[in-house]
Amino acid sequence: MIDDGKPIFVQIAEMVEDSIVDGSLPEGSQAPSTNELAAFHRINPATAAKGVNMLVDKGVLLKRRGVGMFVAEGARDVLLTERRTAFADRFIGPLLAEADKLGLTAADVAALIRSRAGEDISGTDERTAR
């Protein structure tokens, strides 16, 4: 699960974020402790703490002294908004720049996306129309 391409503490933060986004770690629930994360991933507890603290700084996790870490209310929405923005920056911007070079309009690009997704140009999903 640990990838050599990113710092381990970032990967720990992303794993916790993924659990929040997919709903397996719902808002208000207790998050794994730094010691639990460290033991599970066989890493230094300070490294796990650094990842968790990133999420605390972001407002996604809340520390309750003597009790543990909890998923903040609204954390999922914060993460979804952040990820949608990152998705647009990483994929949509370059896609539209390349489309412009090819002389494609936004409507042309949308039609291409629909055709690749299994929809016809009118927006009807061919997978469910059968």
How confident is the model at residue 108, as a pLDDT? 94
Over residues 94-118, the pLDDT tens digits come to 999 999 999 999 999 999 999 999 8
Tell whether 63 and 82 lie within a shared domain: no
Tell whether 22 and 67 lie within a shared domain: yes
Rounded-to-integer distance, Cα 125 and Cα 117, Å: 8
Tell whether 90 and 39 lie within a shared domain: no
Is residue 3 in some structural domain? no
**Does residue 125 have a pLDDT over 60?**
no
Tell whether 60 and 87 lie within a shared domain: no
Average pLDDT value for residue range 64-92: 95
The answer to whether 55 and 13 are in contact (CB under 8 A) is: yes
Average pLDDT value for residue range 13-24: 97
Written as six digits, the tokens of 73 are 């209310």
Is residue 68 in some structural domain? yes
Rounded-to-integer distance, Cα 34 and Cα 42, Å: 11
| CATH number of the domain bearing residue 12 | 1.10.10.10
Tell whether 53 and 41 lie within a shared domain: yes
Tell whether 69 and 82 lie within a shared domain: no
Backbone φ and ψ for 54, nearest 5 degrees, come out as -60, -40
**Does residue 59 have a pLDDT over 90?**
yes
- Listed residue (35, 31, 62, 60) closest to 49, CA to CA: 35
The answer to whether 80 and 88 are in contact (CB under 8 A) is: no
Written as six digits, the tokens of 14 are 């992303």
Tell whether 61 and 87 lie within a shared domain: no
Is residue 128 in some structural domain? no
User: Locate tokens 């639990």: which residue?
Assistant: 36
User: Locate tokens 């949308």: which residue?
Assistant: 110
Domain residue limits at 96: 76-122
How confident is the model at residue 124, as a pLDDT? 56
Higher pLDDT, 87 or 119: 87
Region of poorest pLDDT, from 14-28, 59-73, 112-126: 112-126
How confident is the model at residue 130, as a pLDDT? 46
Tell whether 16 and 68 lie within a shared domain: yes
How confident is the model at residue 118, as a pLDDT? 83
* Residue after which a domain boundary falls, among 47, 73, 99: 73
Number of domains composing the chain: 2
